[in-house]
Amino acid sequence: MRQPELLAPAGDLEKLEAALAYGADAVYLGGDHFGLRALASNFSLPQLKQAKDLVHAAGKKIYLTLNASLRPAELAALNGYLEELRPLELDAYIVADPGVFATVRRVDPAREIHLSTQVNTTNGASAEFWRAAGGKRVNLARELSLEEIRAVRATTTAEIEVFVHGAQCVAYSGRCLLSAALVDRSANSGLCAQSCRWRYALMEEKRPGQYLSIEEDSRGSYIMNSRDLCLVDYLPQLVEAGVDSFKIEGRMKGRYYVAAVTRVYRAALDCYLADPEGYRCDPVWRQELEKISHRPYGNGFLTEAQDAQVHSGDSIYRRSYDFVGVVLSLGENGRGLVEGRNRFFPGEDLELIGPGMRQVTFPVGSMASEKEQPLTVAQPNARILMQLPPGSQPGDLLRRQVASPD
């Protein structure tokens, strides 16, 4: 059976390491030029080299986003950047602007090009257009149903990538001017302020300052909200539809998010590929995804044109667990060195999670600083010596339950 790729975001080096350790086959990241997600801590050239070395040493792939729409002066500067990038031999560039596409083809013709979701590829003829022009892969628009993905697959030999998890836009695959219009932060430069999720009210022009609430139900209005996408239950159908790469959204998300989402999709994909006939969706996968900060989940447009589902529900984040620490190293007798990310205390229960769906709840015992000074609280960024459960590994993450998952 074909082995589709699991593609995870890498907002910085730490998240990249998490993505690799928790099961990604490939990562995507931004350089410090021309990629969307301007607020993500993007990679400089030396950092890209370091990232490439790490990824290739793990036998995986690395894709660089160059998916902004460029203005004339920016396009002129692209040549030089591509020249600097070329020796790094990254596996592919993710591109949206046809001008960027043509420039990459000219300056670095050996480089694989993937068409970004911003290109809004919705049919096989579009995919073939990009393939004939030299593109290797297209990320299909999130608006397509499963049936339509199958139809695209039947009419193109380009590789097909789809988003399976993460935030969605109410606008057509990110082509949105709302944030640019309201706060001069362009979504197409990666600076979206998520204005669609703000709270809006109605005001009559002769009564300034009198805000009338818009109520769809007792909690308010959700006229521009979208749910988060979660397609873990549909991986078999997507594999059978011929999807080559499953992409997780979220270069702005934290290390815990990247690790926890990637390991669930890794487990589900491996389970299906090992035994397609005997495959059953494990309820733990969905439970684990509920433990990550998210808006209400939905299937997007996959099963049919479910506009009502995409636009309904509120956009308040559900957060049932706090990420409190990362295991840096293990010493003798299960004593480990942990870097704190949130406060935690002796006596409380934490959960340790690791790659391969490894997880265990344990009570925090006594804690000490690296200089063996006793600690009554673990602070963010502090290094803490503490007893960890058997089987713990460097790179494992610690979390604390703060509310019931949905």
At 354, list the tokens: 């690791």
Smallest separation (angstroms) from ligand SF4 to the CB of 14: 25
Give the span between the Cα atoms of 389 and 396, in whole angstroms: 11
Residues 119-178 that bind ligand SF4 (CB under 6 A): 169-171, 174, 176, 178
Smallest separation (angstroms) from ligand SF4 to the CB of 311: 11
- Residue from 115, 192, 239, 243 binding ligand SF4 (CB under 6 A): 192
- What φ, ψ does residue 140 adopt, rounded to 5°? -70, 150
Cβ nearer to ligand SF4, comparing 181 with 201: 181
> What sign does the dihedral 201-204-209-212 (CA atoms) show?
negative
Give the span between the Cα atoms of 400 and 406, in whole angstroms: 16
Of 34-42, 186-194, 209-217, 313-321, which part binds ligand SF4 (CB under 6 A)?
Answer: 186-194
Interaction of residue 310 with ligand SF4, rule CB under 6 A: no
- Residue from 16, 20, 187, 302 binding ligand SF4 (CB under 6 A): 187
Give the span between the Cα atoms of 145 and 225, in whole angstroms: 20
Instruction: Rounding to the nearest 10 degrees, give the CA dihedral for residues 384, 385, 390, 394.
Output: 60
Using DSSP, state whether 135 is helix, strand or coil. coil
Residue found by looking up tokens 């040549």 in the block: 79
Residues 6+ apart with CB under 8 A from 90: 48, 52, 62, 63, 64, 111
Smallest separation (angstroms) from ligand SF4 to the CB of 139: 16
Task: Kindly state the DSSP code that residue 217 receives in the 8-state scheme.
Answer: B
Smallest separation (angstroms) from ligand SF4 to the CB of 180: 9
Smallest separation (angstroms) from ligand SF4 to the CB of 173: 9
Cβ nearer to ligand SF4, comparing 13 with 191: 191
Of 34-42, 142-150, 190-198, 319-327, which part binds ligand SF4 (CB under 6 A)?
Answer: 190-198
Question: How many residues make contact with ligand SF4 (CB under 6 A)?
Answer: 12
Smallest separation (angstroms) from ligand SF4 to the CB of 140: 17
Which of 303, 326, 313 shows the shortest CA–CA distance to 406?
A: 313
Cβ nearer to ligand SF4, comparing 106 with 199: 199
Query: Given the rule CB under 6 A, which residues bind ligand SF4?
Result: 169-171, 174, 176, 178-179, 187, 192, 194-196
